[in-house]
Homo-oligomer: A and B are copies of this chain.
């Protein structure tokens, strides 16, 4: 797919790039990307107006799509992939996940986030929304991998004031750190974990802090029936209402899951302009028993996006798989063969996702940031090519992802990511060492 196949420099620079003869919305086009990472021209044949490109990518037999955004994950949980599956939720959390997480180090989070970043790049993801801890290390991994991310410290106080003070400090520290990095690819958010794990005082602080610092909020909302029931019992109102009263809902809020939202909540979220991230794989694996009410959310004006959730409830970060599972789950659960068609699914992963993270509009057009995925149409799963959107959503797998460009920088080309093997090795070592430390502590 490249005239520069062996030219490793293609990964290191933000030189100008000309993609020749790729399919953009069904038509063969050239795309010129400037050295500042902007799409300067999309035309039948590059005009030469912006100078000679430093790199040329042969886009023949590829479809160009806007890059994908993963709007809900806990990326360093890649280290826990396959550590415990097929268990009852509470047992799984309290006996497997939490005890292991208690031994996680900052270095582990760096290695796990590096692994997550390259795994996401492999399926065409150019940005993600992350909630975990040791997030300064996650920021370092995002910087090193070249991807974009919105990072938040998972804020949990369980109504405990001391814990809350610690979470406030951790949040402030992360936000200041990211501010000091001054890198447009890396943003901070406030991460109140969920209405059932954060006190009203905590939620109010998060809301005020996000407004003061003009940053987003990333939160879990209505994943399980039980948490909704508990919320109603304790507050006499549903979770969205609780969040709204604490000021946590705005056009800068990404709420993950939303499986158990009722109609009134969908309308509230739509009125405010909240983004709701659908995580179908995780929801199915954890048997949450209801699918997000996608059509009601859309009809209420909500921007619905896609997320993979963390690896321990998925167990991968493959956004192509997530698109397909979303389109399937909506059809199956809501008993409709026409709900969530391919075109809308792709929108969730592209324009809606990028808007949710504040990284732009997620469309291939001149003047936009060059976040571009080239998908190889000569692979079996993309053959024939009657409908490029349907093929991406329903039949493509990451095998077909050829090239990923983020902010004008090539992160993967011809299926090759620099240092991939070394990153996997370091993450493996971290994961096995983590389990050893845990076992030694018993």
Chain A positions near chain B (C-beta within 8 angstroms): 78-79, 81-83, 85-89, 92, 115, 118-119, 122, 281, 283-289, 311, 314-316, 318, 321, 324-325, 327-329, 331-332, 334-338, 341-342, 378-381, 383-387, 390-391, 394-399, 420-421, 423-425, 427-428, 431-432, 435
B428 close to A328 (CB less than 8 A)? no
Q: A81-B395, A395-B315 are in contact. Are A381 and B332 (CB under 8 A)?
A: no
Query: Which residues of chain B are near A427, meaning CB under 8 Å?
Result: 383-384
B395 close to A398 (CB less than 8 A)? no
Q: A380-B420, A384-B79, A384-B432 are in contact. Are A311 and B395 (CB under 8 A)?
A: yes
Query: Which residues of chain B are near A421, meaning CB under 8 Å?
Result: 378
A86 close to B325 (CB less than 8 A)? no
Residue A397 contacts which of B289, B395, B397 (CB distance < 8 angstroms)?
A: B397
Q: What are 30 inter-chain pairs, A to B, with CB distance below 8 A? A: A81-B386, A81-B391, A82-B386, A85-B341, A86-B337, A86-B341, A86-B390, A87-B337, A88-B337, A92-B337, A118-B380, A119-B381, A122-B380, A122-B381, A283-B332, A285-B328, A285-B332, A286-B337, A314-B394, A315-B391, A321-B324, A325-B325, A378-B421, A380-B420, A380-B423, A380-B424, A383-B428, A384-B428, A384-B431, A386-B431
B287 close to A336 (CB less than 8 A)? yes
A331 close to B285 (CB less than 8 A)? yes
A85 close to B387 (CB less than 8 A)? yes
Q: Which of A316, A385, A432 has the most CB of B within 10 A?
A: A316
Smallest Cβ distance from A165 to chain B, in angstroms? 35
Smallest Cβ distance from A123 to chain B, in angstroms? 8
Assembled-state Cα–Cα distance A394/B395 (Å): 18
Smallest Cβ distance from A85 to chain B, in angstroms? 5
Smallest Cβ distance from A381 to chain B, in angstroms? 5
Smallest Cβ distance from A272 to chain B, in angstroms? 29
A394 close to B432 (CB less than 8 A)? no
Smallest Cβ distance from A83 to chain B, in angstroms? 5
A82 close to B387 (CB less than 8 A)? yes
Assembled-state Cα–Cα distance A383/B396 (Å): 22
B383 close to A335 (CB less than 8 A)? no
A85 close to B328 (CB less than 8 A)? no
Smallest Cβ distance from A415 to chain B, in angstroms? 8
Smallest Cβ distance from A114 to chain B, in angstroms? 10
Assembled-state Cα–Cα distance A435/B385 (Å): 12
Given pairs A78-B380, A285-B337, 11 additional interface contacts (CB within 8 A): A79-B384, A86-B342, A115-B380, A119-B381, A287-B331, A289-B335, A318-B381, A325-B325, A379-B424, A384-B428, A397-B397
Query: Which residues of chain B are near A83, meaning CB under 8 Å?
Result: 386-387
Closest 6 CB pairs of A and B: A86-B341, A119-B380, A284-B328, A384-B431, A284-B332, A315-B394
B85 close to A390 (CB less than 8 A)? yes
